[in-house]
Structure 1
């Protein structure tokens, strides 16, 4: 499987670079927070985001440009003001449009939804809907808005199937089609940037939860991903500038950054959710609840008829850094709405050793063996999430956790060799 349209996996292949680099509710049980140091006790100085540095530089890179911003509720300053409000009030920025992704600019829509086209009541700015749009239709929106420079500032969750990184990709591609500049303001990967984990997407399975062949947990920041997209995957690279953070290290979990957390989407309430998401989101591809409609989405998993045998089987795997508690909960929406279901709750006791993707596979393997009614979604959504049919077919063939995880090590090693050339921290 090719990782790049430009053959960068071939020996001696050239690697593209950035075009420019910017300045250096429910009856669910409530668990204790995932173990780890808090920012207040870590002794780390505060991380300055890309927007912080852009503003400190007087918005020099946006001078003389008509600007539009792709953002959502996570686009905030250290004092939790939204960057759109801040920029709109600053005469040094000619901000003329906002572009909303999945869930919308103000974040009111659930998964698979958006807020549509409207004028923002707070600023009067036109808000355009990007969700579900790509290519020329999205490029036409940029043209109609009158912007010359598109700015991207959204907090990611670190998983390939979290759609904001593909909003980034689609917007970069569309901006290139109509000759717009593109500026990415960087924010931390909330689950660290230490490693890429999991299977790599097969292009035959490309969707909005995975456009290009990257690993399931990519271990990159959005600015690093922008460089990767521009250098590896976009047929027509965009005029790209990235504004880096300062004070961030690849080993940082989000609570070590000193930054305020805003849920990037309705079912990503805390950094704890992000820590498990790249593995437990795989349960979206099954008939089990992935915990939507509870106070601990993606940490609570279950279905009607599951008992303690699942937790016992999962704990018997001795997966690093995590234990599983027999749990019962009643989702207020989504799968099993209003019904009491049984399952497990993930409790991470050592986040340094915890591997979310291996854990997700182990839970799938044990769920299928512990619950006779286990089934994949009829549309084989699991294939879109994992990036190929291999995980599904191997589990159906009764492969164990180690066997499934071992099957993607070659493609993962190849992706890691490309990824490292785009790391900026």
Structure 2
């Protein structure tokens, strides 16, 4: 692992780390074990789902406990929104904050939002005291490559599942996205990105997969997640409780002539880029637990051409037209926010939300996405590693 030659220069520093089981591989060890041999590792910051991805989504990690010598465990996904921000005392006597955790390429995925909150706190600390720990990002490939999808998240919709200005599928590595935050938001933290490998810009990486969270079981899941995560804001099952979450989806009410019409409409959308396999499934937990659902398995046949976000936006629009009395967007608390429905926080753009209610045509949506994706691709050129 070439990056070890670089980080050995910091040997002996007092360090904290944000990590989980996805940072695994060198010498068949978890990377925090390696760092504990190089640094004086004081603190492990726990992201959502826990250190070993033990917990389902939106489940507090307050009850988790681990024994790693004298290391302090700081849970950054508790029962209150305030738990998402690291306490100031967790940086006391710390020289270095290490970020070594895999991302899946979508802005909803919370690990890099947690890293961003750490970055913000270091920025405040530096402004107040004149100094702050170095922010060291152990970079890793984006599992779905450099392709981008979507539109910038508008500030009014910013939440734990979306940082302002970022597209739904951002096309950056963890180091690239965190460097973008640091420069764009003028945080002025000392960010050091250590790449672990070089990849051709159009290459989709292939590597041994350690699930970063319970419902991203395979690399294939990542290709559909930029769109399918929107189902979390609806009364459709996104496949939690099955072996193919986000690839399997549906609901008990998808039946009758309306379902046949839905099948027909979806058969012409992005033709040749995916297959929809009709099926029935029985979630073992989460939405419709132990209840038969009618739905689909989404099988992407051309991942470099398939647009997951457009697929789901189009799909939801059809559901609104064909199942107006059964299909619904969920209300209530979602990722600590109760002032806006989950679908608004996930979509994050008033133009896209208007599309869902029929205020824009499909061709207008395509043009809009083409423009926003082009603008984003230009903006992030300096942050591609």
Whether TM exceeds 0.5 here: the answer is yes
Aligned residue among 43, 46, 54 for 1:100: 46
Moved more, 298-307 or 318-327: 318-327
1:217 aligns with 2:166: no
Identify if the C-alpha distance between structure 1 residues 353 and 394 changes in structure 2 by more than 3 Å, giving closer, same or farther: closer
Structure 2: how far apart are the matches of 1:416 and 1:318?
A: 22
Identify if the C-alpha distance between structure 1 residues 136 and 262 changes in structure 2 by more than 3 Å, giving closer, same or farther: closer
Structure 1: how far apart are the matches of 2:266 and 2:89?
A: 48
Structure 1 residue 275, shift from structure 2 partner: 0.8
1:168 aligns with 2:115: yes
Structure 2: how far apart are the matches of 1:120 and 1:75?
A: 17
Partner of 2:151: 199
Aligned residue among 287, 305, 318 for 2:253: 305
Structure 1 residue 301, shift from structure 2 partner: 1.3
Structure 1 residue 400, shift from structure 2 partner: 4.3
Structure 2: how far apart are the matches of 1:94 and 1:286?
A: 46
Partner of 1:253: 204
Partner of 2:188: 237
1:155 aligns with 2:97: no
Identify if the C-alpha distance between structure 1 residues 368 and 319 changes in structure 2 by more than 3 Å, giving closer, same or farther: farther
Please give the per-residue CA displacement for 1:253-301, whole angstroms capped at 9, x wherever unaligned: 242xxx3211111111100111100011111111111111111111111
Aligned residue among 378, 391, 397 for 2:352: 391
Partner of 1:187: 140
Instruction: Map 1:7-26 onto structure 2 (within 5 A).
Output: none
Please give the per-residue CA displacement for 1:58-93, whole angstroms capped at 9, x wherever unaligned: x324224101110011011245410112222x2x32
What is the aligned-residue RMSD (CA, Å)?
Answer: 2.3
Structure 1: how far apart are the matches of 2:188 and 2:323?
A: 48
Structure 2: how far apart are the matches of 1:231 and 1:135?
A: 25
Structure 2: how far apart are the matches of 1:168 and 1:320?
A: 38
Structure 2: how far apart are the matches of 1:407 and 1:289?
A: 28
1:130 aligns with 2:130: no
Q: Provide structure 1 residue ranges, at least 5 long, that are not aligned to the other structure.
A: 1-51
Structure 1 residue 124, shift from structure 2 partner: 4.8
Structure 1 residue 123, shift from structure 2 partner: 4.4
Structure 2: how far apart are the matches of 1:398 and 1:320?
A: 27
Structure 1 residue 122, shift from structure 2 partner: 4.7
What secondary structure does 1:350 align onto?
Answer: coil
Structure 2: how far apart are the matches of 1:136 and 1:102?
A: 9
Tell me if the contact between 1:383 and 1:392 (Cα under 8 Å) persists in the aligned partners.
yes
Tell me if the contact between 1:100 and 1:130 (Cα under 8 Å) persists in the aligned partners.
yes
Aligned residue among 30, 51, 54 for 1:82: 30
Q: Provide structure 2 residue ranges, at least 5 long, that are not aligned to the other structure.
A: 126-131, 332-339
Structure 2: how far apart are the matches of 1:288 and 1:119?
A: 34
What is the TM-score with the length of structure 2 in the denominator?
0.88
Structure 2: how far apart are the matches of 1:332 and 1:189?
A: 31
Structure 1 residue 403, shift from structure 2 partner: 2.9
What is the TM-score with the length of structure 1 in the denominator?
0.80
Please give the per-residue CA displacement for 1:37-67, whole angstroms capped at 9, x wherever unaligned: xxxxxxxxxxxxxxx333244x324224101
What secondary structure does 1:368 align onto?
Answer: helix
Structure 2: how far apart are the matches of 1:117 and 1:182?
A: 28
Tell me if the contact between 1:75 and 1:153 (Cα under 8 Å) persists in the aligned partners.
yes
Tell me if the contact between 1:69 and 1:151 (Cα under 8 Å) persists in the aligned partners.
yes
